[in-house]
Amino acid sequence: MSVSAPEEVVGAFIAAIEAQDIDAAIDLLADDVSYENMPVSPIAGKDAVRATLEGFLGVASRIEWPVTRQMTSGSTVVNERLDRFQIGDGWLELPVAGVFEVDSDGRICLWRDYFDMASYTRQLAALTDNH
Amino acid sequence: MSVSAPEEVVGAFIAAIEAQDIDAAIDLLADDVSYENMPVSPIAGKDAVRATLEGFLGVASRIEWPVTRQMTSGSTVVNERLDRFQIGDGWLELPVAGVFEVDSDGRICLWRDYFDMASYTRQLAALTDNH
């Protein structure tokens, strides 16, 4: 048995999100994962994270989360990303700073994203009003 | 002449902010610094950064920016902070992820903060309405 390095786990997780493969993404999370979008309350546990991901990924026909900078220290990975969601004919683009902690089983136990909620909701409203 | 390590420069910068010593903070910035609060447009150059800092630090009677996590890679420093501002009888508290680049002269040439603007403006309104 081998356990992947933290940056490999985070890379595989983001690849699963981009592929809209929620099962693969959830498999990379610890059972007691804490998913923290800083503007709102934390989401605790795999099932709640699955429901959240199904909701906000489900509106997109394509997803790209290019990582523009990434650093790893021990079990922690920090990155800057531009989370892009194709919705209808347009793209929602959200600058994000993410913090991930990976446990000794190679699963993500903390996923914390810093971003501006209004930048997200404003674009989402504009893109969904078109259809 | 010695040039401080990137994490020392960032630490001194945050200490200057907490001391509300804007001159000391500005001395640690490169002339062509880019100050990027991600929800709004970038601010270019020392003079514009000084005007911005005077505005948003000036409303606070005390400032504390505890760093809860920090990583350095080469000339880049990334941190998580809880930026706290005492305004009147209360404290505004803003979770922030910061990215700093320090140039070869030991001056900050990029300061980029990820945060939720509404979390800031909502608290600011509540604290200033009291007085």
**Pick the catalytic residue: B27, B113, B116, B129?**
B113
What are the two backbone dihedrals, phi and then psi, of residue A11, each rounded to the nearest 5 degrees?
-60, -40
User: What's the mean pLDDT in A47-75?
Assistant: 96
List CB contacts (< 8 A) between A119 and chain B.
Answer: 38-39
B130 has a pLDDT exceeding 70:
no
Report how far Cα A30 is from the mean position of its chain's Cα atoms.
14
Contact across the interface for A114 and B99, Cβ inside 8 Å: no
Contact B104, B3 (CB under 8 A): yes
| pLDDT tens per residue, range A77-101 | 999 999 999 999 999 999 999 999 9
Task: Name the band, by pLDDT with cuts 50, 70 and 90, for residue B42.
Answer: very high
* Chain A residue with minimum CA distance to B36: A95
| Spatial separation of the C-alpha atoms in residues B53 and A17, rounded to whole Å | 38
Angstrom distances, CA of residue A70 to CA of B10, B49, B72:
19, 26, 11
The predicted complex's ipTM stands at 0.94
- Whether A83 is catalytic: yes
Tokens of B89: 């009888």
Tell me the torsion sign for CA atoms B113, B114, B117, B119: negative
List CB contacts (< 8 A) between B123 and chain A.
Answer: none
| pLDDT tens per residue, range B52-109 | 999 989 999 999 999 999 999 999 999 999 999 999 999 999 999 999 999 999 999 9
The CB density around residue B44, as the number of other CB atoms within 10 Å, is 13
pLDDT of res. A3: 79
Please name every residue paired with A37 in a beta bridge, in sequence order, or none if there are none.
A113
Residue B117 φ/ψ region, left for φ over 0, alpha for ψ in the -120 to 50 degree band, beta for the rest? alpha
A20 has a pLDDT exceeding 80:
yes
Closest CB to B97: pick one of A97, A117, A119.
Answer: A97
List CB contacts (< 8 A) between B80 and chain A.
Answer: 99, 114
Give the residue from A10, A72, A78 with the most B CB atoms within 10 Å of its CB, the best one to mutate: A78
Contact across the interface for B71 and A76, Cβ inside 8 Å: yes
Closest CB to B96: pick one of A73, A96, A114.
Answer: A114
* Chain A residue with minimum CA distance to B79: A78
